[in-house]
Amino acid sequence: MLPVVIPLAAVVFLALLAHLRRRDRLTAPRAAVALVLCVYVAGVVANTVFPIFLNMPAGDPQWKVYFGLVHGYSVEDALQNIVVFVPVGVILPLLLAKASWWRVLAVAAAFSLAIEVTQFFTGNLLGGGHLTDVNDLFFNVVGAALGMGVFSALSKVPAAAALIDRFRWS
């Protein structure tokens, strides 16, 4: 997985820096946001899409992946999905010019759905090692909402708001 995600994250990071430079918005705090974004997305992809088993047993029903509710979904799974998506609710308001609740939650839902669909296809076509579950989608969005709530609360504190503005891209 590392030979895939690290070079891809590096290319995206350089593209983001070039984007900021073209807009004359490149500063150390904004470059830090770009780095955090790339490391975060690379980590999520590495832990949700990989591993892919190239020697998946043919016709073995335990390897079939379905899109639906996983029976036995635990509180630990829910909390893990919430925690993993809290950064989405913090990073998106820094990137988006108009970071409304609905916009942040829509982007979080689209990102989570992309992960789940990718898991579905890699699980059925390439021997992916993860299950696709709508519970994950729901709790990922809850995590993004929690992150956005923390971000919004901090944005109301004058000292924190001034610091946050240094990291905003718009």
For residue range 102-138, what is the model confidence (pLDDT) as tens digits?
A: 999 999 999 999 998 888 887 767 766 677 788 899 9
- Say whether pLDDT at 63 is over 80: no
pLDDT for the residue numbered 59: 54
**Cα–Cα distance list, 106 to 31, 113, 133 (Å):** 25, 10, 18
b/e per residue, 12-28, with b = 16+ CB within 10 A? ebeebeeebeeeeeeee
- Say whether pLDDT at 65 is over 60: no
Average the pLDDT over 67-86 and give the result: 81
**Cα–Cα distance list, 27 to 37, 121, 161 (Å):** 15, 39, 17
- Say whether pLDDT at 156 is over 70: yes
Region at 72 (left for phi over 0; alpha for psi -120 to 50; beta for the rest) = left
pLDDT for the residue numbered 73: 74
pLDDT for the residue numbered 119: 84
Each residue's pLDDT tens digit, 4-62: 889 999 999 999 999 999 999 999 999 999 999 999 999 998 888 776 655 555 555 55
Angstrom distance (rounded) from CA 39 to CA 152:
23
Task: Confirm if 108 and 147 have CB atoms less than 8 A apart.
Answer: no
pLDDT for the residue numbered 56: 56
> In sequence order, what are the residues at sequence separation of 6 or more whose Cβ sits closer than 8 angstroms to the Cβ of residue 126?
52, 53, 54, 56
Each residue's pLDDT tens digit, 83-106: 999 999 999 999 998 889 999 999
pLDDT for the residue numbered 49: 78
Token code pair at residue 123: 């699980």
Range of the domain at 154: 2-167
Task: Confirm if 96 and 103 have CB atoms less than 8 A apart.
Answer: yes
Q: What's the total number of domains in the chain?
A: 1
CB half-sphere exposure, 39, CA atoms < 13 A = 7
Token code pair at residue 162: 């001034």
In the numeric block, the tokens 């593209």 are attached to: 15
pLDDT for the residue numbered 130: 72
- Say whether pLDDT at 80 is over 80: yes
pLDDT for the residue numbered 5: 87
